Amino acid sequence: MRIKKVLAVFLMCIFLGISLCFADIYLMQNNEINGLIEENHQLSHQLEVLKEPKDGVLYHGQLKVEGTDLVDCNREKFQLRGISSHGILWYPEYSNYRAIRTTKQFGANVFRIAMYTEPSKGYVNLPKESIDAVIMAVENTLGADMYAIVDWHILKDGNPNTYVEKAIEFFDKISALYGDNPAIIYEICNEPNGDTSWEDIVEYSNKVIPVIRKNAPDALIIVGTPKYCTNLQGAVQNPLSFENVLYSFHYYTELGQENYVNTLSGAINRIPLFVSEWGISDHPEGLTLASGFVDYLNQNNISWVNWSLSNKEENYSLLRPDCKHFSNWTEECLTKTGKFIFERLKSY
């Protein structure tokens, strides 16, 4: 009987030893498998980077402001260049994936999503429709490996404080969705105008930017300036205390060369700038002025976005009113403005 007990204990020890051995083998194999999975993820990411042109989010990553320069994740100077949508609820068909991808094929690396606050087709009256359209445009832009500017497009409301609570609501939703995504840039007030002062914009920014920073601590933020983003004096004299902030300047060629030279020369070495909207007017010198303007921005590494990707019957549109295509545009689809902008984008 005693021999049987000893034998049972002996066999149990052998069994436990084998079990522990297999457990060790399993853990070793599991660790090796996890390591291989992680290595596969890294190789897949590197492959995606190699497949894409070296001008997208996969390659340049999180952008930031250093001094007055925009730099990429490698701390190399970087310039964003692209096109803005028109009102996202007015011309939603041009924010489809293939349309945005077509702008990339021409040379763009950023797409600006203009969401009007009002009138009828804006966030104030159509919040759900507006935010759904913005999300769809963002997703299409991300799919094209491009940076996306989410633009709170104030215009007729003049002072951004008019709908500051709505802005807080909107940016809280978007930044909660995309807080850790390096591709998303937040433009918090398109064109402050009327009697809006720089102090008004500071008051507004101090309410809205912390909401974004709560969810997206590293994101770039573009802040509008008075008089439809043509007056930079307040920002130069009293810049905001937040990091990774750029100040927007807007330009339309009917204003002439002196307008942008005089305004930008006084700010270019003082604050980080971003031309988040500019357009080509219908007059004989339009294209000549546009060429000089783009050269000036490129020489000074200032990022720019042209207005606008639509077929609206106005000179600023890139597409002809009779254009029936929503992507892969041929020269016959483009206005003079469209031909110029796409040619300049292709030159990079």
* Cα 129 from Cα 253, distance rounded (Å): 33
Give the three-state DSSP class for 8: helix
The model carries a pTM of 0.86
Check pLDDT > 90 for residue 29.
no
Look at residue 12 in the predicted model and tell me its pLDDT: 59
For 1, what's the count of Cα atoms within 13 Å in the CB-facing half-sphere? 0
3-state secondary structure 164-179: HHHHHHHHHHHHHHHC
* Cα 80 from Cα 141, distance rounded (Å): 14
Look at residue 284 in the predicted model and tell me its pLDDT: 85
Say which residues have a Cβ less than 8 Å from residue 20's Cβ, sequence separation at least 6.
none
Look at residue 54 in the predicted model and tell me its pLDDT: 77
Look at residue 16 in the predicted model and tell me its pLDDT: 56
Give me the percent of the chain exceeding a pLDDT of 70: 85
Q: Please, are residues 247 and 273 in contact by the beta-carbon 8 Å criterion?
A: yes
Q: Please, are residues 321 and 312 in contact by the beta-carbon 8 Å criterion?
A: yes
Look at residue 331 in the predicted model and tell me its pLDDT: 95
Domains of the chain: 60-346 (3.20.20.80)
- pLDDT per residue as tens digits for the range 109-126: 999 999 999 988 999 999
Q: Please, are residues 150 and 115 in contact by the beta-carbon 8 Å criterion?
A: yes
Look at residue 14 in the predicted model and tell me its pLDDT: 62
Q: Running DSSP on this structure, what letter comes out for residue 313?
A: S
- The rounded mean pLDDT for the chain is 91
Mean pLDDT over 96-101 rounds to 98
Q: Please, are residues 323 and 333 in contact by the beta-carbon 8 Å criterion?
A: yes
Say which residues have a Cβ less than 8 Å from residue 271's Cβ, sequence separation at least 6.
68, 232, 235, 236, 239, 247
Look at residue 187 in the predicted model and tell me its pLDDT: 99
Q: Please, are residues 183 and 141 in contact by the beta-carbon 8 Å criterion?
A: yes
- pLDDT per residue as tens digits for the range 249-262: 999 999 999 999 99
Report which residue type is found at 286. Answer: G
Look at residue 111 in the predicted model and tell me its pLDDT: 99
pLDDT band at 31 (very low <50, low <70, confident <90, very high): low
Catalytic residues: 191, 277
pLDDT band at 6 (very low <50, low <70, confident <90, very high): very low
